[in-house]
Amino acid sequence: MWRDALLVAGKDLRLEWRSRVALNQVVPFAMLVLIVFAFALDPDRGVLERATPGLYWVAVLFSGLLALQRSFTIEAVDGNRDSLRLSGLDPAGIFLGKAMAVGVQLLVLEVLLGIGVALLYTTQFRGWALLVATVVVATAGIAAAGTLYGVLAAGLRVRETLLPLLLLPVLAPVLIGSTRAFEAALADAPADGWPWIGLLAVFAVLYTVAGVLGFGPLLEES
């Protein structure tokens, strides 16, 4: 399973490296979201400062949707999904590989967005351990849930519009948990943030297990 996961993750990351879709489209989109919020809330820097954790994770979620859609669009064309089904690759390995590739892209995006937040919103980062833990477990949850729902919508003609409709409500706990944990870290009160890490970890584990078990049947039906 892990061999197949690494093979699929390597393929997806190589595809991204060659196509530069995330770099040329997803990252600029995420930065634009930050800039739009900065303009909208600029008259009152206090509001902007308080809203920074939420704005950051909203930008991550919206941008992550684009990366997830891209991850399944490449499999939806020219018989690639049939080739995957015939490949002999373990469906659980395909799920983990695609989730890993999305996760790596999200991590890069989150670092760039963090730099953007520091520059545009003049945010002073504190509580690094909590920040890093939040980023890691929230990313794992988004990637796992997004990959599971991505294959669910993959075979449908309306997948581009259906995926956000399916996924955004599901990711609401991640948005709430990661925002609260970031607020705690930035307020230099990490003790208030760690319980949210627990919630995010449970979410990530649940969707990873669901994906490992359910990706195969969903790939068949997609």
Residue with smaller CB distance to other proteins, 6 or 166? 6
* Interaction pattern, residues 10-39, with other proteins; x per rule: CB under 8 A: -x--xx--xx--------------------
Are 113 and 56 in contact by the 8 Å Cβ rule? The answer is: yes
48 to 67, contacts with other proteins by CB under 8 A?
Answer: none
- Among 2, 42, 47, 82, the residue binding other proteins under the rule CB under 8 A is 82
User: How far apart, in whole angstroms, are the C-alpha atoms of residue 21 and residue 66?
Assistant: 10
Contacts of 204 (CB under 8 A, 6+ apart): 137, 138, 140, 141, 144
User: How far apart, in whole angstroms, are the C-alpha atoms of residue 37 and residue 135?
Assistant: 21
Classify residue 190 by its DSSP letter: G
C-alpha 74, offset from chain centre? 17
Q: Shortest Cβ distance from residue 103 to other proteins (Å)?
A: 20
Does residue 122 bind other proteins (CB under 8 A)? no
Segment contacting other proteins (CB under 8 A): 37-45, 73-81, 111-119, 187-195? 73-81
User: How far apart, in whole angstroms, are the C-alpha atoms of residue 172 and residue 164?
Assistant: 12
Segment contacting other proteins (CB under 8 A): 38-46, 47-55, 76-84, 132-140? 76-84
Does residue 89 bind other proteins (CB under 8 A)? yes
Q: Shortest Cβ distance from residue 15 to other proteins (Å)?
A: 5
Would the CA dihedral through 53, 59, 65, 70 be positive or negative? negative
Does residue 87 bind other proteins (CB under 8 A)? yes
User: How far apart, in whole angstroms, are the C-alpha atoms of residue 154 and residue 157?
Assistant: 8
For the record, the structure tokens of 132 come out as 């890093």
C-alpha 88, offset from chain centre? 27
159 to 198, contacts with other proteins by CB under 8 A?
Answer: none
Residue with smaller CB distance to other proteins, 147 or 179? 147
Q: Shortest Cβ distance from residue 120 to other proteins (Å)?
A: 32
Residue with smaller CB distance to other proteins, 53 or 93? 93
- Among 2, 36, 45, 79, the residue binding other proteins under the rule CB under 8 A is 79
User: How far apart, in whole angstroms, are the C-alpha atoms of residue 70 and residue 57?
Assistant: 20
**Residues in touch with other proteins (CB under 8 A):** 4, 7, 11, 14-15, 18-19, 74, 77-80, 82-83, 85-89
